Amino acid sequence: MDSATVKLNKKSIFKKALQKIHAEKLKVFKYDDLVKYMYCPTDPSSLGVIRFLFGMLMLMDIIEERGGSSIDLRWGNPKDCHFPLFSVFRPLPYQYMTLLYGIMWIGAFGIMVGFKIKLFVILFGLPYWYLLFLDTSYWNNHSYLYGVVTILLLGSSATNFMSVDSLLDKSIKNMSVPYWNYFILKFQFFMLYFLAGLKKTDFEWLEGYSMTNLGSHWVFMPFQSFFTGEQIDFFIVHWFGFILDLTIGFWMLLDKTRPIAMLFCASFHLMNSRLFSIGMFPYVCLATMPLFCKEDWPKKLFLRIFKIDHKLPKHETCNKIKRQYTKKITWKNRFVIALLLSHCSIQTFLPYSHFITKGYNNWTNGLYGYSWDMMVHSWNTILVVVKVVDNNTENEYFIDSHAWTQNDRWNKHADMCLQYAQCLKKNLIQDYLNNNPLSIPANEEPQFITSENISIYIDVWCSMNGRFQQRMYNPNYDLLKANWSPIKPVPWLLPLLSKFNGFRKRLKEISEEVYSWSNQTEVLFIADFPGMYLENFIGQDVTNVSLTILEGEVIFEVEDKKSMQSRGVKLYKGDIISIQVGFFHKIHTTGSNHSCYMYIYTKEQENPSNMFKVQPNMYSPFPVIEDVENHLNALINMFQQILNSILHLLFNRPLNLRKKGI
């Protein structure tokens, strides 16, 4: 054998050795190994307890946040405006909506007791997602979360412990469940915390502008001896909240840090239950914290409480060190894990998908649901003007922004403003046709629209995170002719005036000084765009009204009642002018720059008997428990409405619907 052949054989042997080493390394990352890991048999007890608690909390959520106790107010008026995610979704007639709530409640009850889990998850989940898609103005991060958890329960084996199914079918009682049943729920709640922490890296949160005036609340009593209210807002609410959200999931994954992490996490959720009106969300988070514990914790807790010396059964088919499934895997196992990985990818991508759904972006990105930017943005709205113009007569009419709406969240979203304009047009035209316009005498001016040829404009004045009050939309844009697309920026949206962010500290100082004068003095800060004007009326309920120009140039215009003509005064930065009450006035922003100004005024003396009301049981950390009577009354109200609807459908019994405000 010549030297060339020897060299060739050596190269071939060396190449095969490298390929073998490479194959051994790749073997660690084989997809089937991941499938085996996910299908490791695991104790079912923790999953069973969490399923029970989730179902129980959903029973209460249906009554409260889903509107079960007020179905007639939410869905009883066919003229009410709703804001569906997709236009194909329409509310059913009231009597069928009540039946839908009944089906959803039965589904949640089935989840709680663990009976025919797949059937009852569908009975709960389908109506739940239908209601969620039916009105995006009610969207919350936790509402979206509940819907996702429902989908994840659909494929789980959550009835192998503490369920009716396990009592009826002894073969599944205490049977092991695949580890992925825990993994996917653990992933969902880990991302709940972690993504909320990532969203809090926003400048608004870290600088302490998102949540203010919380430091005086009684839940912060342990800190009030050492910190001022402002320091509590900044260090405890903002920075500690940011660090907790960002890291708590990691601490709860580790055995050594889990006990103290769960103590902090539980305290955090109990505090939130008292600080904010967020329904069952804190309690769902409390109920799902055990996902991060050992899967057999309920059995160990039971044995410890009752001091029973008994060893728990081990799952011999699972290597606990590597969590590897020892049975042969099938295509179905691989497909399930592929679906789970797809779900994880989607849930990671959605909170950052706003560069695609540009039409839903306003001053904040996207709809408030899957974004997890919880409490990062706070709003203060002072004025919403809805103007209808009859183009035939050029008459203008102003509509109460609460007319035919259930809440005021819609006016912060351009897509919902567009939906409201279309709904308003439909209602106005229906009224116009019902009022028989041909019967109006020719010599009388019509009291409302005279045709379908109308335009609708909206002017929303609000402040985000302590900034100036400013317009959100172009008030001269006809929404009935709006060109809106879910993937294009909103053309009538005005920009947030971030150039004045530096004023926020000064605004706070001015406010503190004004409030120190008396309990009745108030201040209002306004910023406006060049070429636009604010029209305002000062009522008789305030006195000592003054206008101070902080930036820019304006013309202050007021109507002279004697001459019935308007007169204008040019004002510059630093100028102060008194304003007479009982008159309309306009403030025109002139020149090429934005204007900033403030009103200072004194309110009428408040009735002392209405001040300093203390809520009963305000120091209880469990409002769910203290409100048992209210929950029971709400449940009774819901079932009464369901029963009345059934009697109406069967025997044509009249429906008694409440009206808003009654």
Positions annotated as catalytic residues are 200
CA distance 72 to 661: 12
CA distance 524 to 576: 14
Q: How many CA atoms lie within 13 A of 399 on its CB side?
A: 23
State the pairing for strand pair 454-464/379-390: antiparallel
CB atoms near residue 333 (< 10 Å): 19
Instruction: Give residue for tokens 């089937």.
Output: 32
Distances (CA, A) of 138 to 85, 227, 369, 386: 11, 36, 9, 21
The DSSP element (H or E) to which 32 belongs, if any, is: helix 31-38
Residues with Cβ within 8 Å of 409's Cβ and at least 6 positions away in sequence, in order, are: 137, 138, 368, 416
Instruction: Please name the amino acid found at residue 475.
Output: P
Q: Are 135 and 153 in contact (CB under 8 A)?
A: no
CA distance 479 to 373: 28
- The distance of Cα 7 from the centroid of its chain, to the nearest Å, equals 70
Instruction: Please name the amino acid found at residue 631.
Output: H
Question: Using only C-alpha atoms, what is the Rg of the chain?
Answer: 31
CA distance 569 to 547: 12
Nearest residue to 449 (alpha-carbon basis) of 392, 406, 403 = 392
Residues with Cβ within 8 Å of 70's Cβ and at least 6 positions away in sequence, in order, are: 637
Q: In sequence order, which ranges of 1-44 are alpha helices (DSSP H)?
A: 3-27, 31-38
Q: Are 601 and 517 in contact (CB under 8 A)?
A: no
Enumerate helices (H) and strands (E) in the chain, giving the number of each. 21, 16
Nearest residue to 573 (alpha-carbon basis) of 547, 555, 546, 552 = 552
- The distance of Cα 43 from the centroid of its chain, to the nearest Å, equals 34
Residues comprising the chain, all counted: 662
Residues with Cβ within 8 Å of 517's Cβ and at least 6 positions away in sequence, in order, are: none
Residues with Cβ within 8 Å of 462's Cβ and at least 6 positions away in sequence, in order, are: 379, 380, 381, 382, 412, 469, 470, 472
Nearest residue to 389 (alpha-carbon basis) of 451, 474, 472, 471 = 451
Nearest residue to 427 (alpha-carbon basis) of 400, 458, 446 = 400
The 3-state DSSP class for residue 257 equals coil
Judging by beta carbons within 10 Å of its beta carbon (0-12, 13-18, 19+), is residue 540 exposed, middle or buried? exposed
CA distance 579 to 545: 5
Nearest residue to 116 (alpha-carbon basis) of 167, 165, 156, 157 = 165
